[in-house]
Structure 1
Amino acid sequence: MGNSISRRTLLKRGALLAGGLPFAASLLDKVQASPAIIKPGDVSIPYTEAWTEKQIALASPVPLKARLFANENPFGPSDKAKKALMEALPTAYQYPFRSMSDLTDKIVQFEGIKQDNLMMAAGSSPLLMAAALCTSKPGGNVITGDPSYEDLPTRATRMGEKWVKVPLTAEYKLDLVAMEKAIDPNTGLVYICNPNNPTATVVDTAELKAFVERVSKRVPVFVDEAYIDYLPDPQGTTLVPMANSMPNIIVARTFSKLYGFAGLRLGYVVTQPDMIKDLSRYTEGFMSISATTLQAAIATYQDREYLDAALKKTVASKEFLYEVLKKEGYTYIPSSANFVLFPIKMEGKQFADEMMKRGVGVRFWKFNNQEWCRVSIGRMDEMEAFAAAFKEIS
């Protein structure tokens, strides 16, 4: 009780000091939620479609044979990043002003963007939260694909927003035409995850650019490019240049995937200065990033030797998974990311429970009247563990 009250009070103070919405205190009252108490190794806990990676991790046996539920890069971070982490420890008592400047310089130069259009944070999650906060309005709504990544829209609903879910196309891609039609005077934000999670599909670049150019004239558009590094041509696909030159567009990138920084926490958005000013009211920005993380990022940013090697291993594990599924008589959605979604032949909870009993953690969804399993791409030994467990229950 005491700890809960303390956290709640601090959250309220932080929101108010940040110059947040006038209703910040009452808003945070609504946000408070009692997390399920989960005991490690308990695989009998009821699943829901909203089960998070955190809940699965806490409920899983330790150690897992295959941690395939969180879309992490099991091959990283790079040796250069690890070395930089260790070398940064002696001066970790210092605020990392210089390191932050060095990293932003690298990003600005590589992306060809303006310095004032870049905002860093400890992962993309704080930036998703900030976007949900600064675009929410009474009676408003946020538009996403269905299914898609739920972080931002879930936070928006806690602000009182309506979540407008637009079904995917027959190819399991975001339906840009239908999403545009869903916009109304109450729409505060359109959220695009590309490649999409959990389907790992990607929309046509030209169509997406045209969509964003049109829609951003009416409402803000948030383009989440968390998995773009897994595409053949990230620089030809990204909407960063549009966000760098046009208003009402936010493009998010993260180091959590191909760079292997999920636990180190580092991400950024590219958008116009006015939007950055709005976002900064609801997040600490670069001051939330550790000195060690910054040094690791500087050491590994655009390290093509490492990134290409990690990508090659990811592709090999993915191809192995495809073969396993085909041999067992299963289909799958071709993946443009580091995870694969495929339809399963039993109820999702039962499937996930049975896999967990065998030391393999996966996630599941239900949509289009079909149960689905999402498998994150792991090391080859993890994929082999998946295959062994899968063959027993398929």
Structure 2
Amino acid sequence: MPTNNKSINRRDWLRATALFTGGLTILPSMLQGLQAKAAGIAALKDPATSSLQDIPADVISPMGDSTVVRTTTASSLQADALAEPRIPGVLKARLFANENPFGPSSPAKKAMIESMDSGYQYPFMLLRDLEAKICAYEGIDAKMLMTSAGSSPLLLGTALTLLGNGGNIVSADPTYDDLPTRGEKIKATWIKVPLKSDYTHDLDAMEKAINADTKLVYICNPNNPTGTIVDTAALKAFCERVSKKVPVFVDEAYIDYLPDPAATTLIDSVKKGQNIIIARTFSKVYGLAGLRIGYVIAQPAMIERLGNYSATGGYALSLPAITAALASYNDKGYIDEVKKKMVASKQFLYDTLKSEGYTYIPSYTNFVMFPLKMEGQRFVEEMNKRGVGLRNWKLNNQDWCRISIGRMDEMQAFAAAFKELS
């Protein structure tokens, strides 16, 4: 069957959807080779989009926490290439991607293995079960939920939906830059508002930065890379005011690491009718980063709009990912155990930094930022030579390291290497 910009057969749709959303693990070179087809599918979703040239190919390439190399502003991601060590040898400590090194829960692993017998089936019904479970727990209508292969496709869908015709996006600086960077690539403007002296969001300054061209406000809470949180009462008041003028996207990827996520989330604000988009992922505390599954909660009208650009549903998510998420969702015992181990490893890190005369930003997440006493890229490379993978930033004319919290053996490997350089 011949294809062009206006037609694509079902098999190509399924294949491209899986690649577009990250539902399958593939080689980066394969992904690059099919970016144009994925862009075409996104374009076909919107009748107003008539040419693939309207959506740059690099907008669609995955931009997770450590997937592609890119050069952005000084405060943006600096070392995405560290997905693999740059020198021969064994990586003793993988501390650059904010993953949960304790892995999926035992029920999740068991569910994934058992799901293989049904691998020939599309997982429509199982996905409905997962979505029903999330809706029941959060007390929301099914029309307020959209699942996808991790949060990255949903961030992309939001950028294309709200920033596709230009305008600007307001966010803190630094913050997780996936959504605003994608916005810039489709000709939107990114208004960056510096963090306060305590490295938290300056909500007052962000509100003042909003203008007639603002199409979206992005807040990552807890924030990546600083690990800080926004005062809940202040954030809720901010969103109530601002969402009347412009949508607010609150990225809650790390919220499960907080002592009481339910008291911090903005989902209740969405339930009150506010124009807020909440992003959640199974990539962090649930340990399913490699399986790619996440979701957003928003008003039904917004969910419908995002659906035009976000490949979702049974074609986008793999059966193992859905079964693992279903088995581990809201598993309090498992989550508490992960957080307990994370806290112990983080305290070990704090003690190590203090003993070597270093300070750090107190973190509410599974990663910590601390200022360096040498050039950041050199520090990362030297630690890499010692088998420890890390990330570096430039913030306020100071070199910083962001270290993900690993298993205790990984933190000990960090400490041994760090003491050789500190």
TM-score (norm 1): 0.92
Distance of 1:283 and 1:160 partners within structure 2: 19
2:81 counterpart (47, 55, 59): 55
Match of 2:376 in 1: 348
The CA deviation string for residues 231-281 of structure 1, in whole angstroms up to 9 with x for no partner, is: 011001100111233242100000100000100111011001110111001
Distance of 1:92 and 1:299 partners within structure 2: 17
Q: Aligned pair 1:256/2:283, yes or no? A: yes
CA contact (8 A) 1:12 1:24 kept: no
Q: How far apart are 1:355 and its partner, in Å?
A: 0.6
Match of 2:105 in 1: 78
CA contact (8 A) 1:31 1:159 kept: no
Distance of 1:116 and 1:17 partners within structure 2: 23
Distance of 1:15 and 1:168 partners within structure 2: 34
1:188 counterpart (190, 215, 220): 215
> What secondary structure does 1:133 align onto?
helix
Distance of 1:33 and 1:121 partners within structure 2: 15
Distance of 1:165 and 1:20 partners within structure 2: 32
Q: How is 1:281-360 mapped onto 2 (pairs within 5 angstroms)?
A: 281-286=308-313, 287-360=315-388
The CA deviation string for residues 297-326 of structure 1, in whole angstroms up to 9 with x for no partner, is: 111111111110011000000000000000
Q: How far apart are 1:22 and its partner, in Å?
A: 2.3
Match of 2:34 in 1: 7
Identity %: 55
Match of 1:117 in 2: 144
1:155 counterpart (164, 176, 182): 182
Distance of 1:146 and 1:296 partners within structure 2: 34
For structure 2, which runs of at least 5 residues remain unmatched after alignment? 1-28, 63-72
Distance of 2:31 and 2:124 partners within structure 1: 33
> What secondary structure does 1:226 align onto?
coil
CA contact (8 A) 1:20 1:282 kept: no
The CA deviation string for residues 113-165 of structure 1, in whole angstroms up to 9 with x for no partner, is: 11110110010000000111111154411111000001000100001011111
- Segments of 4+ in structure 1 off by > 4 A? 2-6, 32-35, 47-54
CA contact (8 A) 2:217 2:246 kept: yes
Q: How far apart are 1:25 and its partner, in Å?
A: 1.7
Match of 1:235 in 2: 262
> What secondary structure does 2:279 align onto?
strand
For structure 1, which runs of at least 5 residues remain unmatched after alignment? 36-46
The CA deviation string for residues 18-68 of structure 1, in whole angstroms up to 9 with x for no partner, is: 226526522324637999xxxxxxxxxxx9865566511144455310000
Q: How is 1:270-281 mapped onto 2 (pairs within 5 angstroms)?
A: 270-281=297-308
- Specify whether residues 8 and 290 from structure 1 end up closer, same or farther in structure 2 by C-alpha distance, changes over 3 A only: closer
CA contact (8 A) 1:30 1:158 kept: no
TM-score (norm 2): 0.86
